[in-house]
Structure 1
Amino acid sequence: MTRTSGLVFLLLAAQIPASQTLTSTGKEFIVVFPENIAYYHPSSPENKIWITALHDGTVITISPPPAEGSPQNLIAGETKSFTMTQELGKHNYLNSTPFEVFSISDKTINITSSKDVVVQAISIKKRSVQSALVIPADKLSMKYFLPPVPEIEGTTDQGVLVVNVTERGPFRLIIINPSKDTVKVAIKGGDEISGVIQSGKVAQIWVTNTSTPQFVEADKPVAVFFSHPCATRYDCTCGLLHAMLPPAKNRTMKFPVPPVLAEQASILLSDQQFRGYESFKSYSAVVQSAGTAILYQPSLLLTLIPEEEFGSCFVVPFIENKKNFLIIMVHKEHKDGIHIGKVPLNNADWQELKGTDYVSTNLSTSFPNTFVWHNSSTMAVYFVGNENNTWFGNPAPVVSVTPGKEAHSVLNSYRFLDRLIHILMGAL
């Protein structure tokens, strides 16, 4: 990161209220890396955590310590990656009915920060690549709806699960307890399954494949992920599928679907009344749910962003040696005002989202730690990547949800910064 880009991010961060509940920023996080492909596969995974600081003098502590050491000091706008060896590994099922067993692990990673940061995670093993946004502990929930299990040829299409063959095994829920106390957790909606998770630990439990609406309910906030270590893909390969579940909503919301990912995709929907699939419709690029809405492709589970949770500023990571993209969806009347770093987004190839007032564009990126912002409106931004014609990605972390005066102040800060740079350069 250059000195100039650091100054830009510092000026941007200065405009961001610390109390925004819909942002991805926080001071405490807990991270897990799920089994990628199979625990017995001879290759070792490359598991990394990215941490982006929003303020100077940010002190990061990671436990257990990564190879890079802990604590670490970051400046505003700096993103640093850390290599981790913790991985959940095999899901132990004992001799009981598969859907009645909690598999408990202490292979969690705790991150604490002196000031607000954004945390993302990536796992790479051979051709299997997945990334995930990590939600701060204070923004988690106590209720999550379970999506339906996608129909995957070679994994879920035979009707009989084989628990000792990874690619034929069931999908699993990964439930993390970030609390300092033990949490009581139950899977409800069918035959109730319950258990306890101690502080800082994680449970894995297999998911039943029924159309009955089901949900996770806990007596304290938890994080919940939907995952399969080695779902079948193209060319007789398999790879990790992994996505965070959004908290249950108390109202129905609309989820615009990115057109670039919609072809051959299905949308996994689940709320209090419905658990099932919805194929992408050529005449309507939006789905509705009061719970979970996840886009599924053979290599991708992408948690969709509802209209009510659009943001005005995002951090987009960059993975070396992969094809990196960002997808932007915005109201068709607000295409102007979008910036990639300091540079306004001009001459983008916009695509209409049928049945909505939104348009979408996807841009390849070649710069690390890009931030994307709008000076007068909100939008949805996704980070996606491509590896050997398979997708991976996640919703881009939200740094700010408030445009308007705040964004105009940021824009003025850029103009001031440009003048300041010219003055300083002239003095050298």
Structure 2
Amino acid sequence: MLPDMFLTNVILFSVSSALMMISLIEPYLLEAMSGWDMPNVARSIQFELKTEMFAILLIVTMFSQGLTIVSYGRSFITAFPENLAYFYPNTLSCLRVTALYDDTFVNIFHNGSSTPTKSISDLQKGQTVTVVFPKSAEVYQLLNYSTKSIQITSNKYIAVQSITQTDYSTQTNVVQPSENLGMNYLIPSLNYTNLLATFSVSQSASFSTKYNSFRLIIINAEDTENNITIVKNILGKIQLVNFTIPPYQLIQLQADDSMMMVNSSCKIAVLLTHPCLLKADCKCSMIVNQILPVRFQGQNFVVPFIPEIKQSWLFMTSNNKASSLSQKGTKLTSSSGFLSLSDPGNPQYVTASSNVSLRLISPGLFIELIQENMFAGCYLLQSYTNTFRIHVIAETVDRDHLNTDKGFIQSLKWTEISGTKYSSVEFSLNNRASTTVWHSSSKIAVYILEETDKIVYGGPAIPIKENPDPSGCKVPGEFVVGDKPLKWTKSLAYCTNPKREFACPTNRDIQMELARQVNTTNVEGWIGLRRSLMTTAWFWQKQTSSSTSPPVNYVYWAKGQSQKGFCASLSLDGSDFKWKSASCCEKKLPVCYKPPLTIGPLSWSDSTDFP
């Protein structure tokens, strides 16, 4: 879209994927260079470490540190892992889709179909629909390609949650939009036997080896062949396994503690799963964890306290073997990679010595912890049951400004987290009419937890607004392009009414949001910028009732385009959305803007079966 948005990709693709791997696995390479033990399926590669290469890698690192806080979008891809649960036949796999705008249309593609297998039309703001899939949608093949990926696309922003359930196991998972996917992932080196031993659970001798370890599902998120490299560390020796995945297909691999990372040539989604994690009562819980790309790692975390969990540990994933985790300056001790909490009966603030991802683990429960830099102003609540619990972490000085869409929350019993600026609180919400939890002045972290048959499940809520807003939980305003070319003055009249205005990208963030939202076409569209006939100075024609037109402090002109005409348009071809000046009498598509609206209570539609 915008040149500065694409700068990262240009740099990334100018450096080979091998170079990217060096920066990630360099701590392991130093001890493995003495001897390479490469399997037949792996390709040998040679590394030439030069100063120039490290300089390039440094530039890549600088440009890839940006975080996308929100978890809504218009394109998603996921899959339903196998839910064994001791062969219980009563399984349920479904997607829960929530529209954030009126007049939303959703298409779902499955089994490699190029045409929608399921279409949902005319969803309104806050409306949630549940789509139920058959048992056959689960991915059970090992070491084999599959077309069982599920693509979800929409004309406007939506949030998507995946749910899978049996008689004794329920798991929910926030499906990340394509914007949050990446090409570099670190894999948690989870050892199934060590995990069971940690929780004093013995593994049955009759339990099939097919189910005694974790699995990794890698989904090609793009319409092109994707080159994948699995990096393994086996007894201190690096091994690379290379293969390709066809467009929108997936592969499921047996995962073990030798897997370090997955690198790809274009975007992928990565799921860490376990079909049946044994528990002390001879039942089992399914595990689903969508791994986030490396760029989402951080160093500071607040670990929530969950009273119903009798035993829990932290598991840290990092490309730096020397990474450590500390609480109040004291390093946490490790047992087979699982870190003991120093005070498990209270929420804790922990700090890593380098960027890591962190998970709170208990039998049947994996919670990806929200790093401090990814706290948000507002969260969407998608619950499976009618009663659920909310864990909130907020700054102590502002903690009493917590709200739901139903209003201010009173009489909460906050717990101050010792030695930090944060406090935490847990409270219950009854019925699913509550849609959002938001804070008026500071960023917060929100986890949603539910319980079915004494099985606790859940994880982070869905962030839908990065910054706090005293007026409520609002999604970005909506950009709409008219379907008929008009002159500039006619476009102004077309866009100006009580519910919308002429699009005025008065800063870079608004320009980027416009570029993300509008459907591309090979024409141009008018925006609300024109020149004064008296002074020839540019000014915004911002028709709002609340304020005067802002000064023109931000421009995005194409080269040599600012002086040719008296009205401004932008390119809608999807390449750069640069501005041009033109005669106001030319006919172009009007680009309008609907200001942000507060998300209200959800309206729940009946479940619909997938064909």
Q: 1:254-265 to 2 correspondence within 5 Å? A: 254-260=300-306, 264-265=311-312
Structure with max Cα Rg: 2
What per-residue deviation string (whole Å, max 9, x for no partner) do you get for residues 297-337 of structure 1? 1110111100100111111112136x521211111112122
Tell me the amino acid that sits aligned with residue 175 of structure 1: I
- One of 196, 201, 221 as aligned partner of 1:178: 221
Identify which range, 140-149 or 249-258, moves more after superposition. 249-258
User: RCO (CA 8 Å, sep 6+): is it higher in 1 or 2?
Assistant: 1
**1:294 Cα deviation (Å)?**
1.0
What per-residue deviation string (whole Å, max 9, x for no partner) do you get for residues 205-240 of structure 1? 122225xx8111111111112111100113111120
CA RMSD, aligned part only? 3.3
**1:50 Cα deviation (Å)?**
0.8
Tell me the amino acid that sits aligned with residue 143 of structure 1: N
Aligned length: 383
Structure 1 residues 91, 349: closer, same or farther in 2, change over 3 A? farther
**1:55 Cα deviation (Å)?**
0.7
Is the contact between residue 298 and residue 373 of structure 2 (CA under 8 Å) also seen in structure 1? Answer: no
Q: Give yes or no for the alignment of 1:221 onto 2:267.
A: yes
Match of 2:132 in 1: 83
Q: Within 2, Cα distance between the matches of 1:166 and 1:234?
A: 20
Structure 1 residues 372, 89: closer, same or farther in 2, change over 3 A? same
**1:356 Cα deviation (Å)?**
2.7
- One of 132, 135, 150 as aligned partner of 2:173: 132
Is the contact between residue 106 and residue 121 of structure 2 (CA under 8 Å) also seen in structure 1? Answer: yes
- One of 420, 427, 436 as aligned partner of 1:356: 420
Is the contact between residue 144 and residue 217 of structure 1 (CA under 8 Å) also seen in structure 2? Answer: yes
- One of 395, 398, 405 as aligned partner of 1:331: 395
What per-residue deviation string (whole Å, max 9, x for no partner) do you get for residues 155-186 of structure 1? 9987999884554x211111111101111111
**1:353 Cα deviation (Å)?**
2.7
Tell me the amino acid that sits aligned with residue 107 of structure 2: T
What per-residue deviation string (whole Å, max 9, x for no partner) do you get for residues 382-427 of structure 1? 12111222211121111100125775999x999x999xxxxxxxxx
What is the TM-score of this pair, normalised by structure 2?
Answer: 0.57
**1:360 Cα deviation (Å)?**
1.3
**1:25 Cα deviation (Å)?**
0.9
Structure 1 residues 196, 405: closer, same or farther in 2, change over 3 A? same
Match of 1:70 in 2: 119
Q: Within 2, Cα distance between the matches of 1:281 and 1:376?
A: 31
Q: Within 1, Cα distance between the matches of 2:207 and 2:292?
A: 27
Tell me the amino acid that sits aligned with residue 124 of structure 2: I
Match of 1:381 in 2: 446
Q: Give yes or no for the alignment of 1:208 onto 2:273.
A: no
Unaligned runs of 5+ in 2: 1-65, 234-238, 324-336, 476-545, 547-594, 601-611
Structure 1 residues 407, 374: closer, same or farther in 2, change over 3 A? same
Identify which range, 44-53 or 246-255, moves more after superposition. 246-255
Is the contact between residue 101 and residue 125 of structure 2 (CA under 8 Å) also seen in structure 1? Answer: yes
The secondary structure found in structure 1 opposite 2:306 is helix
Identify which range, 271-280 or 373-382, moves more after superposition. 271-280
Q: Within 2, Cα distance between the matches of 1:236 and 1:252?
A: 36
Is the contact between residue 217 and residue 253 of structure 2 (CA under 8 Å) also seen in structure 1? Answer: yes
Is the contact between residue 391 and residue 448 of structure 2 (CA under 8 Å) also seen in structure 1? Answer: yes
Identify which range, 255-264 or 399-408, moves more after superposition. 399-408
Tell me the amino acid that sits aligned with residue 374 of structure 1: H
**1:250 Cα deviation (Å)?**
8.1
Structure 1 residues 129, 30: closer, same or farther in 2, change over 3 A? same
Unaligned runs of 5+ in 1: 1-18, 93-101, 419-428
Match of 1:269 in 2: 316
What per-residue deviation string (whole Å, max 9, x for no partner) do you get for residues 113-166 of structure 1? 110111111001111100000011122111111113163337998799988455
Tell me the amino acid that sits aligned with residue 194 of structure 1: N
Q: 1:73-112 to 2 correspondence within 5 Å? A: 73-85=122-134, 86-92=136-142, 102-112=143-153
